[in-house]
Amino acid sequence: MNILSYVHLRNIYRSTGVGRVSRELTERLHATPDVNLHVLADPADHARVIPLVGDLWQSYQYHFFKSDTSAQQLRWVLTNRPAAEHYWSEVDLVHCTAESYVPVRKARLVVTCHDAQHFEAGAHRQSVWLMKQRLKWRLLFARLEREVDMLQMISHFAAERTAHFFPNLRDRLCVVPNAASDSFFAPADEEGKAILHQLGVVGKPFVLVPGGLQFRKNADLILDAWPAIAAAVPDVVLVVINHVDETYLPRAKVLGDRCVLAGFQEERQLVALYQAATLVWFPTLYDGFGMPVIEAMASGTPVISSDTTGIPEVAGNAGVLLSPADAEAHVQTIVELLRDESARAALVERGRVRAADFTWDKSTAKLLAAFRSIV
């Protein structure tokens, strides 16, 4: 099968969740014996990113469009040209590894879609940014409703919500879940562990917040609840990785040295932080899947998350799931778990079993079966 993967290369270096999904799917599809995979990409991104990501991505066969990514995407959505066959005449299937669109003539089109967050009431604060995102996504999905052969959804929850907003797509939805990268199942290396020294948390109990401090990731509850947790467990530290919205920065700084804002971390450092944490806390308001949940479980760390959206489907009975609106419940549960090593050990055991169900080998095999069903 000749697969043309449309990859936003800027997302595969220093990847967050969506970037890791694109990277893992592309690498594993390329490694499949009966798959001939080429990559469609922005030439400027290729020149900047590929030297930074290693030999594997340098070995791929690339096809380039002339415009930058945003301009090319708008051209494809609005004009439906040029088609994928313009770049590679022998293509059988085009795979967009994130929400995007490439026109096809004879080839099949599959798009990986993570969720419908931009259309959901309460997932984001009302803003000009949200209005622009909704407009962009409505244009994209109007085109996908007419043209796509299959939308790969990352959870049944995400599939159901997408079908709610775009019912004409319901019969073309296929659920293939995300997974934890192999590195989360293996012990952290010394290079990764260096971050623990840099942040000053070696030998200290700490609660890891992997979603940053943002509205959708429930920063308000985190900042409301943490002072009570810190007062009840005097030696525990809060470590926040990823983006901190500037509206929350003053409240975070008031917490002093009991709150460490660690920013973005590479995968090696991320693995070390997950594995060294006493607990992982991810009280998200809205997630189609919740990568931190399965990554924490693969790392052998207990997880406290939300009982809404896609989280229960991923966590099963292996995490503690609470209402994302109940700060008191989060305080009480976190304090109890910090004090109860046996309860944490039980969660670790269940989490490892659960994580074993979410591997990229399994997801890639399921995705390939879906590809073959339409080619």
Domains delineated in the chain: 2-179+359-374 (3.40.50.2000), 182-355 (3.40.50.2000)
Q: Is the pLDDT of residue 98 over 90?
A: yes
Tell me how far apart the alpha carbons of residues 333 and 290 are, in angstroms, rounded to a whole number: 20
Q: Where are the beta strands (DSSP E) in the chain?
A: 2-6, 36-41, 61-64, 93-96, 108-113, 150-153, 173-175, 206-209, 237-241, 259-263, 279-282, 303-306, 320-322
Q: Is the pLDDT of residue 275 over 90?
A: yes
> Which of the four pLDDT bands, split at 50, 70 and 90, describes residue 356?
very high
Q: Is the pLDDT of residue 16 over 90?
A: no
Write down the pLDDT at residue 260: 97
> Which of the four pLDDT bands, split at 50, 70 and 90, describes residue 284?
very high
Chain centroid, CA 337 distance in Å: 26
Q: How far is CA 314 from CA 174, 256, 308, 310, in A?
A: 16, 34, 11, 7
Residue 233 · residue 338 · CB < 8 Å: yes
Write down the pLDDT at residue 309: 97
What φ, ψ does residue 320 adopt, rounded to 5°?
A: -95, 115
The whole-chain average pLDDT of the chain stands at: 96
Q: Is the pLDDT of residue 69 over 90?
A: yes
Residue 207 · residue 255 · CB < 8 Å: no
Q: Is the pLDDT of residue 55 over 90?
A: no
Q: Is the pLDDT of residue 140 over 90?
A: yes
Write down the pLDDT at residue 342: 98
Count of other CB atoms within 10 angstroms of residue 224: 15
Q: Is the pLDDT of residue 14 over 90?
A: no
Secondary structure of 125-170 in HEC code, one letter for each residue: CCCHHHHHHHHHHHHHHHHHHHHCCEEEECCHHHHHHHHHHCHHHH
Residues in the chain: 375
Write the pLDDT tens digit of every residue in 194-234: 999 999 999 999 999 999 999 999 999 999 999 999 999 99
> Which of the four pLDDT bands, split at 50, 70 and 90, describes residue 8?
very high
Amino acid, single-letter form, for residue 332? Q
Closest CA to 307 of 157, 137, 83: 157
Write down the pLDDT at residue 288: 96
Residue 76 · residue 101 · CB < 8 Å: yes
CA dihedral 318, 324, 327, 330 (to 10 degrees): 10
Q: What's the whole-model pTM score?
A: 0.94
Q: How far is CA 349 from CA 293, 298, 332, in A?
A: 14, 10, 22
Write down the pLDDT at residue 250: 95
> Which of the four pLDDT bands, split at 50, 70 and 90, describes residue 15?
confident
> Which of the four pLDDT bands, split at 50, 70 and 90, describes residue 17?
confident
Q: Is 211 helix (H, G, I), strand (E, B) or coil?
A: coil
Closest CA to 304 of 266, 351, 245: 351
Residue 258 · residue 197 · CB < 8 Å: no
Q: What is the mean pLDDT of residues 70-94?
A: 96
